[in-house]
Amino acid sequence: MKKFFTIILWLTAMSVHGQDKTVKDLQQQSQQQIKKDKNDTIPKIWKVGGLFSLNLSQTSLSNWAAGGDDFSLSLNAIAYMFAFYKKDRSSWDNTFDFELGYLKTSTLGERKTNDKIDILSKYGYAIAPKWNIGVLFNFRSQFFQGYTYTNNIKVFNSTFLSPGYLTLSPGIEYRPNDHFSVFMSPIAARWTIVKDDTISAKGLYGVAVGEHHVFEYGAFVTALYLQNLTRNVSYSGRLDLFSNYKHNPQNIDVNMSNLFAVKVSKWLSVTWNLDLIYDDDARLFGKNGHSAALQVKSMVGLGLLVKVPKDIQESIPK
């Protein structure tokens, strides 16, 4: 009997030891990270994100010997969003660029400093590793009424759809890498719209007096560059060129936008926005207010900046 109980105790101890080892093995396995098989990864066909910036500054002065406005308030907002589709040979790129700036001072009153709507949609079909054929649609305008201040006299010269530009362009695209692309078309169609009756009566933006739109066709080129220059510095730039075959084709319309963003902290950044525009039909400048000129807008701001995704390089589909 004593030998029987000894055998039972020995078997029980071995069973407990085996269970304890099994439990430990299960615990170790549960703590290991499960590695995903690359062959099971389904590629994403959509990439969506954007860059959002908000800069605000306010100054108040009282008995200030150096001079200046008693009160000034400046606000500038930028929203750049994208939605890119890529599957097999087909790609569909969409960008939405919105900007709005506001300035209020005790001497100048309220003025708009920035106002932009720019929507670009481009479909492409790959015919070679770096070449696509496709079609492009672009819409440009502004949100609110705009004024020029010649000799400090306020003159109403623009508003939503006055002007508005619609471009429809079949062409070929060269995309050598993930950061740069250029789309070229020798047969682009462009409509210039002036919906507002007051502006239409002035005959501005190449639209005849009393008319509300004009059709143009010509050569069109647009180049896009997006990249993180360093870990904390990102750049996005776009250049549009249009030559009107019907009127002064040598006077090429230029529209260039540049945005540099320097990350200071998790949410705080310095941004520099530089836009260059030359439109031979925008004859609002010069001493007589009836000449075309290079339009330059440079804005530097410190404020909130959010990027989604964090790496702007992801915004161009591979």
Residue 6 lies in a domain: no
Q: pLDDT tens across 70-91, in order?
A: 888 899 999 989 899 999 999 9
Give, as one character, the DSSP assignment of residue 161.
T
User: d(Cα 87, Cα 317) in Å, to the nearest integer?
Assistant: 10
- Strand pairing of 164-174 and 233-244? unpaired
Bridge partners, residue 168, by sequence? 137, 189
Residue 116 lies in a domain: yes
Query: pLDDT under 50 in the chain at which residues?
Result: 1-42, 312-318
Phi, psi for residue 27 in degrees, rounded to 5 = -65, -45
Rounded-to-10 torsion of CA 221, 226, 230, 234 = 110
Range of the domain at 49: 36-315
User: What are the tokens at 197?
Assistant: 């009756």
User: d(Cα 293, Cα 275) in Å, to the nearest integer?
Assistant: 14
Residue 26 lies in a domain: no
Residue 1 lies in a domain: no
pLDDT for res 11: 42
Residue 269 lies in a domain: yes
pTM: 0.81
Phi, psi for residue 98 in degrees, rounded to 5 = -125, 135
User: What CATH code is carried by the domain that includes residue 146?
Assistant: 2.40.230
Q: Are 259 and 271 in contact (CB under 8 A)?
A: yes
pLDDT for res 316: 42
Residue 9 lies in a domain: no
pLDDT for res 104: 92
pLDDT for res 43: 57
User: What are the tokens at 159?
Assistant: 């508003």
Number of domains composing the chain:
1
pLDDT for res 311: 53
Residue 7 lies in a domain: no
Residue 109 lies in a domain: yes
Beta strands, E only, 194-312: 213-228, 233-244, 253-263, 268-278, 295-308
User: What are the tokens at 123?
Assistant: 């479909």
